[in-house]
Structure 1
Amino acid sequence: MELAKVTSKGQVTIPIEIRKKLGVKNGDKILFVEEAGRIYMLNSSMDALREAQKEFFGEAERVGLKDDDDIMKMIKELREESWAK
């Protein structure tokens, strides 16, 4: 358990061990989420990545991507289409 003090401006220094666990670096944004009467602090970039992963779940199978070769082929085709315009 870590302890931090709130300044008169509402600022808090996040202890180094907590920053390491969250993967938070200078300039990163922190997300505060309330769930079931508790407040959670998250690295906003990591939360956005998790949300994107949830939204994309199953899409590779839906469009027929089975491995890295399929992905590279799709990227090549998309680039060729883009360059043709």
Structure 2
Amino acid sequence: MAGLYVCEKTVHAKNNKKMWFGTFLDADGNFFDTTHFPNYTSIYPFRGKGCYLILGKVVEDFGFPSIEVIRFAKLPIKENPVLE
């Protein structure tokens, strides 16, 4: 899934390792949330504002869906062509 970064929250798990919760906008302008567990955060970190390609599985906790991230990458921004 592709999403436009909105924000993330860093928390520390029981083992004091870093994990994140992210919020994104999809192509239709709908919000969706992601969960980034410690075993993936050092391999696939947030890299600032922009669009991200997200691979994971949809889970539901407390009646609310989220994507548990397995792979995560910021997409490059295509430069505006110069008009002559």
User: Is the TM value for this pair above 0.5?
Assistant: no
Q: Normalized against structure 1, the TM-score is what?
A: 0.23
- TM score, norm. by length of structure 2: 0.23
Greater C-alpha Rg: 1
Greater relative CO (CA pairs within 8 A, separation 6+): 2
| Higher share in strand | 2
